């Protein structure tokens, strides 16, 4: 399948990119990893007049721990998350997700920023970043701003990024001692989008879940948190009954669609089961009982 | 001496030398030649590999000819619609667009808008009145570049008037909406076919102690070889010669069909099937795209290339399966199977274009009594039109044997479970016994040889079956779900004897032409066409076995109709049974002539000579000998007076019977009660394909076939919505297993040679695709039988398991 | 519709061409540079038959525009063997019967090369995950895994020598 024709620019700096976007307006689309955009273009589901390729802007790709947060440049490839020691050591939920995004070849090109900016509820990073309570840094013609992850996803394939704004960095707060996180994804086969997936980041205080954030993948039109499940777990000991109740709450509050991946009742029940398993795994990590 | 062509080309009807009738089963691969000769049984590294591992294969899309242009296809977005108007003016006005061809154009060019199918039905090449399947070819565009052609198809405007689609084959049988109004008889019912004895079977069922009945649906699937279909057609107007590079599993048959359909003289058509990236039956039918490509080249007088996209391949090319089966199995008080009744509705799509031998609209489906001895059986199949792509026979099915075996293995498992008997013991009790071979089945098959007990025993030993059953009980007590599934299949391949088998009238022999050069190297050409099965190696090994010529010195060629002897191609696991036999027979003719030359050179009578690996030697004086290489040289330099020079032979082999590979597979699964996910813990496959040519290649065929059995069992299904639109038209939703989903297959073997095949071999490529799906389905149902689950249709997905569990009141 | 001049180094040779922005890298490699070892097998970035190495990373070349590869160093299957000597992966695929029709093979080789460069001693599970972006219809994957294990052993032995 062959894309329609387009004009192409490959700016070398962020300023150059911003200037291009300002000039071209909505005729232009950003090209990052291209692993979602190019397939769409090959089917002519997307036919932008102009592509602004960010891949030459090398200072947008980095993974570094800075004091109280992990900073990830938007053009960081998924593979880089798999191969950076600090991620495995201190942000295992992020590694969980990176390992299940598409396949290893796609992960050599696909970017963390692209995965978020596309705002596809089927993508894996949105739920993870919601669970981490990440911050997004964006640069626009008028300068930089920070967007709380809870404010990023506003519609199907729609973020709160302004026209001409580029997502440049993701900041994940460094988990405190006694924290743990996990991401479990059910997929029909390796490389597929999730039938359903759950991201949990929690902090234990003794045997109680002190705080918890839960993100859900592909069971709603917009990436969402399972707030009712969070409420059922926060301040509670993780007993079977409480986990089951939280699972049921998450199953009820999400809004999956029926498709080839599954019927609605199946997806809801997967959420219920995954909530329990993901919380348990996050707790095991919080207790240092598993990597 | 006579020098007529017929002296060198013999048809075979007599049983050839080689293997006796009462065949014992062994374990050991027979190796009789040293490794420098590398005859049968050697794990010879493949001769074709060097080009593939260095990226120097030549596939159809690699062909680049001077002045070559590109074809792309405008396809229907409707499953059923009238065509009101086709406006190609904008496309034609685009720079680089050379032509647009519509159905009307083909009609004017000599009624080429319709073509015959392999089942003697007709199929539209390009439509004039209406379209009858989603993604049907509507018109084609030819442009100077691939990318321009892709743009141009978007510019063709077609006005449709949608008609009611016909998606449900049962509703189609009601004839409320007719798919083929071009037919005289306005009905969707294409044919009715029966096998077996209805009265005898009815009687058996009336007297039966136990009867089980089940509805089994095998959904549409698609071969999805990694290379899609395509063609480069190159018509030379000056010579009046059409050269075609084509993804074809049967180039000679295709050449003959093209000649008959186009009126081009057959000797002026050359079809070259180069390296083919997987066939599996998907490259046997003649697709409209091929015909349009050839016509385009004819019209433009220059090479035209057409390579389909994956979406086109998945949405319009020949599907496989789509059988709606209702089966009943009867048993007596002792739990012996007595009879089988099967009714089947075959959803054929918009034309009966299945690639079956012409007398068999349901292929070899009546093999469905399987490995079991029973008194009577009655099978009926009805073919029906729907507004879906035509096809049906593909995906390594051996002409519908996948459907037959899936049905009988599910039914036997259901019956065993219902009677409370262990499924392995139940099978052992009901198998056809070795002393019953050759076995005449209630539907008229004569199975050549088999030893089903040995294969199942071996599989049970390999997997430690009894221990697994014990473990299953223990796990069940703890609420854990573990299942064990068995499939003991009988395959039937090697089509086929001229008495019964033909494709559009062409008998299904196959051929080998072997020529030995003066310096002792050989060329061997065949009428088959490998798409990965390794013929360049295996055929060389067969000839090496017969003549002692090193396999490395034998160049095997297939696929060019100008040079290869006529054959019916490679599919349905027929190559080893037919062309492999022809190779041996042609080699034996050469050996007979070589013996004469040896007698002459050694100055003895032929009766004084004996063969030893690669030489004729004088009995009692082994140092007086002549090697095959010396004899080849002598054939050109020092042959007896009155004998023709040269050392070559051709054989067109008409097999006396089909061959019957068999095996037993055992699958162990663990189910996740929370998510319904299915983990295949172990899968043991014991196969018997008779004598083995190259054990490594046989393993590769089995492992590959097992993964293509896993795929329909758990992942693949073509899904249409209520409008007949294909929802699984890309690999994003048509799910092929990766190395992660595909288990580490464990292989075993027994060897029970075919008594009628010259080298005792049977063919193996499709056995695993036939045997694996029921083993997996049986395992999953077995895990849940105690919960009241009797049957699940494939693909058995986690969602289906989850639903069955929740219905049974089981949760995590 | 913009045309761009690009320079790529492919299997050690530099090439400069003028291309449309929308030209997919796989078509550039196959048609413009006549290196047909890299194959097209699907249209949804699913099959991996088009896998090449770009600046040391294994990438599906059907999902990259040729213009993006301007200045890049590309390796395809045709460049794996050096001076007539097969790469241990090519040897392994041949020894272990890791191919049948050969269509997925170039992509598998390039993918496996990347896997072994990152993980010289992969477990079987790591190999299977490592090649999960490459579909094969013929082999059932077992012998591909064995071929890669063969190559891993050979590469480690050669390194140690």
Better-scored residue on pLDDT, B175 or B21: B175
pLDDT of residue B14: 43
- Mean pLDDT for the stretch of residues B126-130: 98
Kindly state whether C7 is in contact with chain A, defined as any CB-CB distance less than 8 angstroms.
no
Q: Which of C1, C24, C133 sits opposite A103 (nearest CB)?
A: C133
Range of the domain at C98: 88-160
Q: Which token pair is A96?
A: 């969980």
C7 and C73, same domain (yes or no):
yes
Rounded to an integer, the average pLDDT of C119-133 is 98
Interface test with C, best of B135, B739, B747 (most C CBs within 10 A): B739
Name the pLDDT band for B3 (thresholds 50, 70, 90).
very low
Judge if C99 and C44 occupy the same domain. no
Q: Is the pLDDT of residue B238 over 90?
A: yes
Measured between CB atoms, which of C106, C133, C135 is closest to B736? C135
The one catalytic residue among B123, B136, B243, B249:
B249
Q: Roughly how many angstroms between the first and final C-alpha of chain A, as a whole number?
A: 43
Distance (Å, whole) CA A81 – CA A74:
12
CATH number of C138's domain = 1.10.150.120
Counting other chains too, the contacts that B308-312 makes at CB distance below 8 Å and 24 or more residues apart are B308/B73, B308/B228, B308/B229, B308/B230, B309/A1, B309/B228, B309/C43, B310/B228, B310/B730, B310/B731, B310/C41, B310/C42, B310/C43, B310/C44, B310/C47, B311/A1, B311/B135, B311/B729, B311/B730, B311/C43, B312/B73, B312/B75, B312/B135, B312/B228
Interface probe with A: pick from B714, B799, B807, most Cβ of A within 10 Å = B799
Report CB contact under 8 Å: B56, C78: yes
Confidence of residue A93 (pLDDT cuts 50, 70, 90): very high
If one counts the domains in chain C, the total is: 2
Residues C74 and C99 in one domain: no
Contacts of B674 in chain A (CB under 8 A): 273, 277
Average pLDDT over residues B7-27: 55
B22, pLDDT greater than 70? no
- Residues of B in Cβ contact (< 8 Å) with C140: 700, 702-708, 742, 745
User: Do C28 and C65 sit in the same domain of this protein?
Assistant: yes
User: Per the CB < 8 Å rule, is B735 touching A189?
Assistant: yes
Question: Do C74 and C94 sit in the same domain of this protein?
Answer: no
Say if residues B462 and B618 touch (Cβ distance below 8 Å): no
Closest CA to B423 of B775, B767, B712: B775
Partner A contacted by B146 (CB < 8 A): yes
Measured CA to CA, the distance from residue B125 to residue C41 in angstroms comes to 25
User: Nearest CA to CA, how far is C3 from chain A (Å)?
Assistant: 8
pLDDT band at residue B12 using 50, 70 and 90 as cut-offs: very low
Same-domain pairing of C63 and C106? no
pLDDT at C2: 76
Contact C64 A34 (CB under 8 A): yes
Task: Give the number of A-C residue pairs with CB atoms closer than 8 Å.
Answer: 90
| Residue of chain B minimizing CA distance to C88 | B53
CATH code of the domain made up of A179-286: 3.30.390.50
**Does C118 share its domain with C151?**
yes
Taking contacts as CB-CB distances below 8 angstroms, the residues of chain B near C37 are 54-57
Average pLDDT over every residue of C135-141: 98
Mean pLDDT check: name the lowest of A74-78, A139-143, B266-270: A139-143
Query: In whole angstroms, how large is the CA radius of gyration of chain B?
Result: 27
Q: What is the pLDDT of residues B419-433, one digit of tens each?
A: 999 999 999 999 999
Are the C-beta atoms of residues B621 and B574 closer than 8 Å to each other?
A: no
Model confidence at B8, in pLDDT bands (50, 70, 90)? very low
Q: Dihedrals φ, ψ of B693, to 5°?
A: -80, -55
Complete DSSP assignment for B342-394: EEEEEEEETS------TT-TTTTGGGGGTTB--SEEEEEEEEEE-SS---B--
- B249 included as an active-site residue: yes
* Boundary (domain end) residue, out of C57, C79, C101: C79
At A95-104, the pLDDT tens digits run 999 999 999 9
Looking at residue B21, its pLDDT comes to 57
| Cis check: omega of the bond before B795, within 30 degrees of 0 | yes
C75 and C37 part of one domain: yes
Choose the catalytic residue: B137, B630, B716, B766: B766
Do A2 and B151 count as a contact with CB atoms less than 8 A apart? yes
Residues C101, C145 within the same domain: yes
Residues 6+ apart with CB under 8 A from B348: B190, B322, B354, B383, B384, B385, B386, B390, B391, B392
A contact chains, 3+ CB pairs < 8 A: B, C
Work out whether strand B269-272 and strand A143-148 pair parallel, antiparallel, or are unpaired.
unpaired
User: Is A146 in a helix, a strand, or coil?
Assistant: strand
Asked if C64 reaches chain A (Cβ–Cβ under 8 Å), the answer is yes
Determine the average pLDDT of the residues in B222-241: 97
Q: Are B170 and B125 in contact (CB under 8 A)?
A: no
Q: Locate the chain B residue with the closest alpha carbon to C34.
A: B62
According to the model, what pLDDT value does residue A195 have? 98
B801: its two tokens:
């398991």
Taking an 8 Å cut-off on Cβ atoms, the answer to whether C34 and B64 are in contact is yes
pLDDT at B245 over 60: yes
Name the one residue in this structure whose structure tokens are 């949405």. B315
pLDDT in tens, B353-367: 999 999 999 999 999
Comparing CB atoms, the residue among A2, A53, A106 nearest residue C60 is A106
Q: Does B413 touch chain C (CB under 8 A)?
A: no
Instruction: Determine the 3-state secondary structure of B600 from DSSP.
Output: helix
Question: Does the beta carbon of C6 lie under 8 angstroms from any beta carbon of chain A?
Answer: no
Task: Tell me the per-residue pLDDT of B181-208, one tens digit each, with 9 for 90 and over.
Answer: 999 999 999 999 999 999 999 999 999 9
Of B275, B704, B739, the CB nearest to C131: B739
Q: Contact partners of C by the rule of 3+ C-beta pairs under 8 A?
A: A, B
CB of C130 within 8 Å of a chain A CB? The answer is: yes
CB–CB of C78 and B697 under 8 A?
Answer: no
Tell me if C58 and A108 make a contact (CB, 8 A cut-off): yes
> Which of A:60-99 have CB within 8 Å of C?
79, 83
User: What average pLDDT does this structure show over C60-81?
Assistant: 98
- Mean per-residue pLDDT, C26-45: 98
pLDDT tens string B562-577: 999 999 999 999 999 9
pLDDT of residue B11: 37
Give me the residues paired with residue A203 across strands: A179, A211
What is the DSSP track for C133-150? TS--SSS-SHHHHHHHHH
A223, burial (CB in 10 Å: exposed 0-12, middle 13-18, buried 19+):
buried
Q: Pairing state of beta strands C73-75 and C3-10? A: parallel
User: In terms of domains, do C139 and C107 share one?
Assistant: yes
Where a domain ends, among C32, C48, C79?
C79
How many percent of chain A have pLDDT more than 90? 97
Tokens for C28, please give them: 């550039």
Active site residue B533: no
Report chain C residues whose CB lies below 8 A from the CB of B699.
Answer: 97, 143
User: Taking Cα atoms as reference points, which of B431, B436, B282, B446 lies closest to residue B364?
Assistant: B446
Query: CB C39 to CB B277 under 8 A?
Result: yes
Contact call for A189 and B737, based on CB within 8 A: yes
Q: To the nearest whole angstrom, how far is the Cα of B766 from the nearest Cα of chain A?
A: 24
Active site residue B667: no
The DSSP code sequence of B312-339 is HHHHHS-EE--EEEEEEEEE-TTS-EEE
On the question of pLDDT at B686 being above 90, the answer is yes
Same domain, C68 and C101: no
B38 catalytic per annotation: no
pLDDT at A291: 76
Q: What is the arithmetic mean of pLDDT over C79-91? A: 96
Contact criterion met (CB below 8 Å) for B163 and B83: no
Same domain, yes or no: C128 and C154: yes
d(CA A106, CA A110): 6
Q: Reply yes or no on whether the pLDDT at C151 is more than 70.
A: yes
State the CATH architecture for A7-53: 2-Layer Sandwich (3.30)
CB contact under 8 A, B309 and A190: no
Cβ contact (<8 Å) for C63 and A38? Answer: yes
pTM of the full structure: 0.97
C43 and A108 within 8 Å at the Cβ level: the answer is no
Instruction: Say if residue B637's pLDDT is above 90.
Output: yes
Write the pLDDT tens digit of every residue in B780-812: 999 999 999 999 999 999 999 999 999 999 999
Tokens of A49: 């007049």
Find out whether B132 and B75 touch, Cβ atoms under 8 Å: no
Say yes or no: A270 contacts chain B, CB-CB below 8 A: yes
Helices B423-430 + B401-418 axis angle, to 10: 110
Mean pLDDT, residues B535-539 taken together: 98
Q: What's the Cα-to-Cα distance from B12 to each of B509, B606, B668, B691, rounded to whole Å?
A: 10, 24, 46, 21
User: Which CATH number among 3.90.79.10, 3.30.70.260, 3.30.360.10, 3.30.465.10 corresponds to the domain A58-173?
Assistant: 3.30.465.10
Instruction: Quote the pLDDT of residue B16.
Output: 53
Mutate to test the interface with C, among A12, A31, A103, A187 (most CBs of C within 10 A): A103
Q: Mind listing the pLDDT tens digit for each residue in B377-409?
A: 999 999 999 999 999 899 999 999 999 999 999
Backbone phi, psi, residue B635, to 5°: -60, -20
Query: What confidence category does residue B24 fall into, taking pLDDT thresholds of 50, 70 and 90?
Result: confident
Asked if B733 and A260 come within 8 Å (Cβ–Cβ), the reply is yes
Cβ-defined contact of C100 to B226 (cutoff 8 Å): no
Q: What is the pLDDT of residue B9?
A: 34
Residue ranges of the domains in chain A? 7-53, 58-173, 179-286
Alpha-carbon distance of A227 to A250, in angstroms, equals 8
List CB contacts (< 8 A) between B49 and chain C: 93-94, 99, 102
The rounded mean pLDDT for chain B is: 95
pLDDT band at B13 (very low <50, low <70, confident <90, very high): very low
As to burial, measured by CB atoms within 10 angstroms (0-12 exposed, 13-18 middle, 19+ buried), residue A291 is exposed
Q: How far does A272 lie from chain C, in Å, by closest CA?
A: 28
Spatial CA neighbour of A248 closest among A224, A223, A265: A265
Catalytic pick among B180, B321, B396, B400: B396
- From chain A residues 240-269, the ones with a CB under 8 A of any chain C CB are none
C63–A34 CB contact, under 8 Å:
yes
Q: What are all long-range contacts of B262-266, with beta carbons under 8 Å and residues at least 24 apart? A: B262/B110, B262/B112, B262/B294, B262/B295, B262/B298, B263/B110, B264/B240, B264/B298, B265/B240
């Amino acid at each position: 399948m062959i894309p329609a024709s387009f004009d192409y620019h490959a700016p070398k700096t962020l300023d150059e990119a911003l200037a291009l976007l300002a000039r071209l307006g909505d005729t232009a689309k950003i090209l990052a990893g291209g692993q979602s955009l190019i397939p769409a273009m090959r089917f002519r589901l997307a036919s932008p007049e102009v592509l602004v390729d960010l891949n030459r802007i090398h200072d947008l790709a980095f993974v570094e721990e800075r004091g109280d947060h992990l900073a990830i440049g938007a053009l960081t490839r998924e593979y880089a998350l798999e191969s950076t020691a600090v991620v495995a050591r201190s942000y295992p939920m992020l590694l969980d997700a990176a390992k299940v995004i598409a396949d290893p070849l796609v992960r050599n090109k696909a970017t963390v920023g692209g995965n978020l900016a596309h705002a596809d509820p089927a993508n894996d990073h949105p739920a993870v970043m919601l669970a981490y309570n990440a911050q997004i840094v964006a640069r626009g013609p008028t300068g930089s701003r920070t967007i709380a992850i809870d404010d990023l996803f506003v519609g199907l394939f729609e973020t709160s990024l302004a026209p001409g704004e580029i997502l440049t960095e993701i900041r994940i707060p460094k988990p405190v001692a006694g924290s743990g996180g996990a991401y479990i994804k059910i997929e029909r086969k390796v490389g597929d989008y999730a039938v359903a997936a759950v991201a949990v980041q929690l902090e234990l205080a003794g045997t109680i879940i002190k705080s918890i954030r839960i993100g859900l993948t592909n069971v709603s039109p917009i990436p969402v948190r399972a707030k009712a499940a969070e409420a059922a777990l926060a301040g509670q000991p993780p007993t079977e009954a409480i986990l089951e109740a939280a699972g049921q709450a998450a199953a009820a509050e999400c809004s999956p669609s029926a498709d080839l991946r599954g019927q609605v009742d199946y997806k809801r029940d997967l959420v219920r089961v995954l909530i329990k398993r993901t919380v348990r795994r996050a707790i095991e990590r919080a207790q240092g009982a598993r990597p | 001496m006579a020098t007529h062509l017929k002296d060198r080309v013999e048809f075979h009807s007599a049983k050839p030398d080689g293997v006796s009738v009462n065949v014992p089963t062994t374990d050991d691969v027979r190796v009789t030649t040293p490794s420098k000769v590398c005859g049968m049984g050697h794990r010879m590294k493949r001769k074709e590999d060097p080009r593939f591992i260095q990226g120097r294969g030549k596939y159809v899309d690699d062909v680049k000819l001077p002045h070559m242009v590109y074809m792309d296809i405008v396809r229907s977005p409707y499953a059923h619609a009238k065509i009101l108007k086709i406006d190609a003016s904008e496309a034609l006005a685009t720079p680089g667009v050379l032509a647009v061809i519509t159905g009307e154009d083909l009609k004017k060019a000599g009624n080429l808008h319709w073509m015959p199918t392999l089942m003697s039905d007709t199929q539209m090449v390009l439509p004039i009145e209406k379209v009858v399947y989603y993604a049907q070819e509507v018109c084609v565009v030819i442009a100077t570049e691939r990318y321009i052609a892709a743009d141009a198809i978007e510019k063709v405007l077609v006005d449709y008037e949608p008609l009611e689609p016909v998606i449900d084959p049962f509703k189609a049988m009601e004839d409320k909406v007719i798919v083929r109004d071009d037919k005289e008889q306005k009905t969707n019912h294409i044919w009715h076919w029966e096998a077996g004895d209805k009265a005898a079977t009815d009687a058996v069922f009336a007297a039966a102690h136990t009867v089980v009945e089940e509805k089994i649906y095998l959904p549409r699937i698609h071969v999805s070889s990694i290379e899609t279909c395509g063609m480069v057609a190159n018509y030379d107007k000056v010579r009046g010669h059409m050269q075609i590079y084509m993804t074809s599993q049967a180039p000679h048959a295709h050449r003959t069909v093209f000649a008959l359909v186009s009126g081009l003289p057959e000797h002026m058509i050359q079809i070259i099937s180069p390296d083919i990236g997987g066939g599996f039956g998907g490259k046997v039918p003649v697709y409209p795209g091929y015909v349009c490509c050839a016509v385009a080249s004819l019209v433009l007088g220059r090479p035209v290339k057409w390579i389909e996209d994956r979406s086109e391949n998945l949405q319009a090319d020949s599907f496989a399966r789509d059988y709606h089966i209702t089966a009943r199995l009867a048993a007596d008080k002792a739990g012996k199977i007595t009879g089988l009744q099967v009714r089947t509705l075959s959803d054929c799509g918009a034309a009966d274009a299945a690639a079956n031998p012409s007398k068999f609209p349901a292929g070899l489906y009546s093999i469905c009594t399987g490995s079991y001895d029973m008194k009577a059986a009655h099978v009926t199949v009805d073919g029906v039109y729907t507004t879906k792509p035509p096809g049906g026979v593909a995906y390594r099915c051996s002409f519908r044997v996948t459907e037959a075996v899936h049905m009988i293995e599910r039914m036997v498992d259901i019956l065993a479970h219902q009677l409370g008997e262990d499924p392995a013991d139940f099978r052992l009790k009901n198998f056809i016994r070795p002393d019953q071979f050759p076995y005449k089945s209630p539907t008229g098959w004569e199975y050549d040889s088999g030893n089903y007990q040995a294969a199942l025993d071996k599989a049970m030993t390999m997997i430690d079956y009894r221990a697994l059953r014990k473990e299953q009980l223990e796990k069940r007590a703890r609420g854990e779900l573990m299942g064990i599934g068995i499939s003991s299949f009988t395959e039937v391949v090697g089509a086929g004897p001229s008495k019964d088998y033909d494709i559009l009238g062409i008998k299904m022999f196959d051929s080998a032409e072997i020529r030995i050069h003066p310096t002792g190297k050989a060329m061997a050409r065949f009428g088959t066409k490998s798409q990965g099965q390794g013929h360049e190696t295996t055929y060389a090994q067969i000839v090496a076995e017969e003549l002692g010529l090193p396999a490395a010195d034998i160049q095997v060629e297939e696929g060019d109709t100008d040079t290869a002897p006529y054959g019916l191609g490679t599919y349905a696991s027929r190559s080893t049974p037919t062309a492999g036999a022809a190779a041996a027979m042609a080699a034996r003719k050469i050996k007979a002539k070589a013996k004469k030359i040896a007698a002459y050179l050694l100055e003895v009578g032929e009766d004084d000579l004996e063969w030893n690996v690669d030489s004729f030697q004088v009995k009692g004086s082994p140092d007086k000998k002549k090697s095959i290489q010396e004899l080849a040289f002598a054939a050109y330099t020092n042959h007896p007076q009155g004998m023709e020079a040269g050392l070559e032979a051709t054989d067109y082999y008409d097999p006396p019977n089909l061959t019957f590979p068999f095996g037993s597979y055992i699958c162990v699964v663990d189910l996740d009660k929370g998510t319904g996910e299915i983990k295949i813990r172990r899968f043991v496959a014991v196969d018997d394909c008779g004598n083995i040519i190259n054990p490594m290649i046989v393993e590769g065929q089995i492992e590959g076939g097992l993964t293509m059995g896993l795929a329909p069992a758990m992942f693949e299904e073509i899904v249409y919505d209520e409008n007949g639109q294909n929802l699984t038209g890309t690999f994003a939703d048509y799910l092929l297993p990766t190395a992660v989903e595909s288990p580490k297959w464990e292989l075993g073997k027994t060897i029970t040679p075919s008594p009628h095949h010259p080298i005792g071999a049977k063919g193996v490529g499709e056995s695993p695709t036939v045997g694996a799906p029921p083993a997996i389905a049986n395992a999953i149902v077995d895990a849940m039988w105690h919960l009241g689950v009797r049957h699940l249709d494939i693909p058995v997905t986690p969602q289906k398991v989850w639903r069955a569990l929740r219905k049974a009141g089981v949760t995590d | 519709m913009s045309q761009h001049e690009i320079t790529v180094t492919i299997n050690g040779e530099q090439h400069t061409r003028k291309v449309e922005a929308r030209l997919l890298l796989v078509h550039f490699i196959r048609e413009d540079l006549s290196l047909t070892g890299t194959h097209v097998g699907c249209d949804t970035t699913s099959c991996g038959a088009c896998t090449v190495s770009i600046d040391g990373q294994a990438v599906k070349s059907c999902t990259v525009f040729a213009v993006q590869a301007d200045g890049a160093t590309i390796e395809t299957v045709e460049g794996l063997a050096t001076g007539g000597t097969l790469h241990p992966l090519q040897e392994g695929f041949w020894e272990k019967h890791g191919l049948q029709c050969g269509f997925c093979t170039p992509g598998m080789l390039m993918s496996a090369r990347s896997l072994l460069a990152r993980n010289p001693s992969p477990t079987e599970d790591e190999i299977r995950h490592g090649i999960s972006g490459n579909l094969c219809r013929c082999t059932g994957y077992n012998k591909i895994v064995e071929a890669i294990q063969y190559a891993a052993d050979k590469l480690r032995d050669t390194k140690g020598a």
